[in-house]
Amino acid sequence: MAEKFYPVKKNGKYAFIDKLGSLITKFDFDFANMFGGIKVNEEFGYMDGKGTIHISPNYRYEYGFGGFNDGLAIVEVDGEFGFINSENDIVIEPKYYRVNEFHNGIALVQDNMFTSAYFINTSGKTILNNREFGVSEYNEGLINCKSLIEKKWGFVDMDNNFIIPPIYDYTSSFHEGMAAVIPTLIGKKVNKKQLFGFVNRNNEVLIPPDFNIANGHFSEGLCCIWDNGNGYMDTKGEVVIPCEYLVGENFSDGLASVQLKKNNKHGFINRDGNMVIKPKFEHVERFENGIAKVTIGKDHAVYKEGYINKDGDYIWKPTR
């Protein structure tokens, strides 16, 4: 399994550390990011999971300069986008106006700004089209999409057949067996507030449309909701963490980042709603493999970035 490396910055140059906070490269890069993407002397490349550096002068790495998903990364050549593999070989020719990263074996692409987006597989073959896939995601075997006829949202399978009919004002992708949907009507009344509920793959209502959803899906059994603040509900639709935060993010590694209303600082809560890492950061990213990136400093001019573990201890103290 490829090891996860983390970019750090010092005196304007970038390097990578491992999960223990030990440097594994020198500060040789003009830019580096969480995907392993790097920039050196106006050339772009990436560091793979074995720590090997790959540089190519022929194309520009986009969407994170070398972020690989399903073994492929987005590249740009003369303003058009395609995909390379980890050997730096072009697998799907750069010919698209817009592309999304691959996820579960398919990626959303668009030929030009006037045409509808459609899905391709990792060989570049068109597999799903004739739908409106603008903000769609393939997850748990279904894709949320908008019918060009009914002008409503539903879910199709990989054969482009509607499994859940296009009857909703909006749908989000499936996570943990549930998907958020906005019905046009609640009972016989128009859903003017655009409240969300949740359905299963059989389009059975699991949670009635009573909520303003903040993040659109369940993660680790909880979903962030909005009611004059962010809080969390469980899969029964019961609010288990009060809506008292300015911002709440999805749970990951058993923790979720929240932003306080009183001072805009970010910290982390556990599934019981207890603040386990004090809110003292200007910005945070979610925990992954026990590590989270954090930012301190009052404004962008003095921001410093570091990494903490789940105890809130630094494995790399903030630098810039």
The residue-averaged pLDDT of 221-248 equals 97
pLDDT recorded at residue 167: 97
156 in a domain, yes or no? no
Report pLDDT digits (tens) over 12-30.
999 999 999 999 999 999 9
pLDDT recorded at residue 63: 45
pLDDT at 308 over 80: yes
235 in a domain, yes or no? no
285 in a domain, yes or no? yes
Which range is least confidently modeled, 121-135, 203-217, 265-279, 294-308?
Answer: 121-135
183 in a domain, yes or no? no
pLDDT recorded at residue 36: 83
pLDDT at 313 over 90: yes
Nearest to 260 by CA among 276, 245, 270, 275: 245
Nearest to 290 by CA among 272, 259, 313: 313
313 in a domain, yes or no? yes
pLDDT recorded at residue 269: 99
The mean pLDDT value of the chain amounts to 91
pLDDT recorded at residue 44: 80
pLDDT recorded at residue 134: 65
Token pair of 168 as six digits: 């909703």
Residues 6+ apart with CB under 8 A from 136: 108, 143, 144, 145, 173
Report pLDDT digits (tens) over 149-168.
889 999 999 888 999 999 99
Residues 6+ apart with CB under 8 A from 238: none
37-63 b/e (C-beta count within 10 Å ≥ 16 → b):
bbbeeeebbbbbeeeeebebeebbbbb
pLDDT at 137 over 90: no
CA 228 to chain centre: 25
First to last CA, the chain: 30
Report pLDDT digits (tens) over 269-289.
999 999 999 999 999 999 999
pLDDT higher for 42 or 94? 94
Residue with tokens 């790399």: 316
Token pair of 89 as six digits: 């070989």
What are the two backbone dihedrals, phi and then psi, of residue 301, each rounded to the nearest 5 degrees? -65, -25
**CB atoms closer than 10 angstroms to residue 3:** 12
pLDDT recorded at residue 96: 97
DSSP code of residue 221: T
pLDDT at 226 over 80: yes
Question: What is the domain range of residue 272?
Answer: 242-320
pLDDT recorded at residue 38: 86
Query: What is the number of structural domains in the chain?
Result: 1
Q: Which of 99-113, 152-166, 220-234 has the highest mean pLDDT?
A: 220-234
Residues above pLDDT 90, as percent of the chain: 70
pLDDT recorded at residue 59: 66
153 in a domain, yes or no? no
pLDDT at 192 over 90: yes
pLDDT at 223 over 90: yes
The residue-averaged pLDDT of 255-266 equals 98
Determine the Cα–Cα distance for residues 207 and 233; give it in Å rounded to an integer. 10
4 in a domain, yes or no? no
310 in a domain, yes or no? yes
Report pLDDT digits (tens) over 62-77.
544 557 889 998 888 8
Determine the Cα–Cα distance for residues 166 and 71; give it in Å rounded to an integer. 33
CA dihedral 177, 182, 183, 185 (to 10 degrees): 150
pLDDT recorded at residue 64: 46
For CA atoms 83, 87, 90, 94, give the dihedral sign. positive
pLDDT at 111 over 80: yes
For CA atoms 186, 188, 189, 190, give the dihedral sign. positive
The residue-averaged pLDDT of 26-48 equals 86
For CA atoms 120, 126, 127, 132, give the dihedral sign. positive
124 with 109: CB under 8 angstroms? no
pLDDT recorded at residue 237: 97
